[in-house]
Amino acid sequence: MSGVRQTTRPVRSTRSTRPARRAPSAAPARRGPGVLVYALLVAVVVVSVFPLYWAVVVASRDGSAIGERVPPLVPGGHLLDNLRELVDTVDLWLALGNSLIVAGTVMVSNVVLATLAGFAFARLRFPGRNSLFLVVVGTAMMPTQLGVIPLYLVVGDLGWYGRLEAVIVPGLVSAFSVFWMRQACEEAVPVELVEAARSDGCSLPRTVWHVVVPLVRPQAAVLGMLSFLAAWNDFFWPLIVLDPNDTPTVQVALSRLASGYYTDYALLLTGVSVAAVPVVVLFLLLARHIVSGILRGAVRG
């Protein structure tokens, strides 16, 4: 292949203006991106980070900073004062605790239940497998909004108004999670390995525990992270069904902070920072796995 490239190079080099192409021996360096690529990427990352940075800046100023003619762009020294005021204004600990309970439960149960179902769809034979899986795919996109009125009535019948169960139970396992873990099992669990375990007399639950779980651990971790984020960030349904005073999640508490005739922006963006920072830290810690998980899961998306 490289021989072909070299024979054609003289013809092309007259047209090409890229300097790297003129050096025939430096084939790997030829593909190294230039300053422009990095500059563009820096711009993209700056745009990605700026709104969050700005929220922290305003959160660390006193309330008047937002009204200055030039918007504040460097942090001030009022973060602790604002935090104290925030804790006095809304029950931040209650909201954080509730969000943690909801997101934690949803994360664990999605991973467990979706691993079981995903493995069954990927590697087991049972009646109705294909049609049931079509149902999963078809519902992966079904939004909560559509059934929200009856869901509200169902939850009422169960006596769950204003209780965390109302948010947790409908989210215990999603079609997306099942789909995700099926992909993971298709990819990471060899059929032969399952058959070997089965013919050695290993029951299905034991097969899952000893064969499947170790193999799909990375994808399961990413799914757990995604489920946690989705539950932590959910707003529409908690807003409807939870009691903003007794059982607020962080998002509900935040939106309450924003509504009102007079909004203290420093306080509001302190709340935003408090809600966003744990998630961002978690994200940065797991970024490598999340990125590779999305890249891997997406290839046939």
Q: Cβ of residue 83: shortest distance to other proteins, in angstroms?
A: 16
**CB 271 within 8 Å of CB 255:** no
Chain centre distance of CA 131: 29
By CB under 8 A, which span of 80-88, 185-193, 216-224, 273-281 interacts with other proteins?
273-281
120 binds other proteins (CB under 8 A): yes
Give the nearer residue to other proteins in terms of CB position, either 81 or 152: 152
188 binds other proteins (CB under 8 A): no
Selected binder of other proteins within 184, 232, 242, 264 (CB under 8 A)? 232
Q: Cβ of residue 81: shortest distance to other proteins, in angstroms?
A: 19
24 binds other proteins (CB under 8 A): no
Q: Cβ of residue 182: shortest distance to other proteins, in angstroms?
A: 10
- Residues 253 and 144: their CA atoms lie apart, in Å, by 21
Tokens representing residue 63 in the block = 């309330």
Selected binder of other proteins within 66, 96, 188, 213 (CB under 8 A)? 66
Q: Which of residues 164-183 bind other proteins (CB under 8 A)?
A: 169-170, 172-173, 175, 178
Q: Cβ of residue 287: shortest distance to other proteins, in angstroms?
A: 4
Tokens representing residue 80 in the block = 């602790």
Q: Cβ of residue 80: shortest distance to other proteins, in angstroms?
A: 20
Give the nearer residue to other proteins in terms of CB position, either 12 or 84: 12
Burial code of 15-35, b = ≥16 C-beta within 10 A, e = fewer? eeeeeeeeeeeeeeeeeeeee
**Using CA of residue 153, residue 174, residue 164, residue 162, what is the dihedral sign?**
negative
Angle between helices 265-298 and 175-188 (to 10 degrees): 40
Q: How many residues bind other proteins (CB under 8 A)?
A: 106
What is the contact mask toward other proteins in residues 128 to 167, using x (rule: CB under 8 A)? Answer: -x--x--xx-xx-xxx-xxxxxxxxxx-------------
CA nearest to 164, candidates 101, 210, 219: 101
Chain centre distance of CA 121: 24
By CB under 8 A, which span of 5-13, 86-94, 186-194, 215-223 interacts with other proteins?
5-13
Instruction: Please give the C-alpha separations between residue 237 and each of 36, 162, 251, 284, in angstroms, as whole numbers.
Output: 44, 11, 11, 27
**31: DSSP letter:** G
What is the contact mask toward other proteins in residues 36 to 65, using x (rule: CB under 8 A)? Answer: -xx-xx--xx-xxx-xx-xx--x-------
Q: Cβ of residue 217: shortest distance to other proteins, in angstroms?
A: 18
Give the nearer residue to other proteins in terms of CB position, either 81 or 255: 255
- Residues 55 and 87: their CA atoms lie apart, in Å, by 18
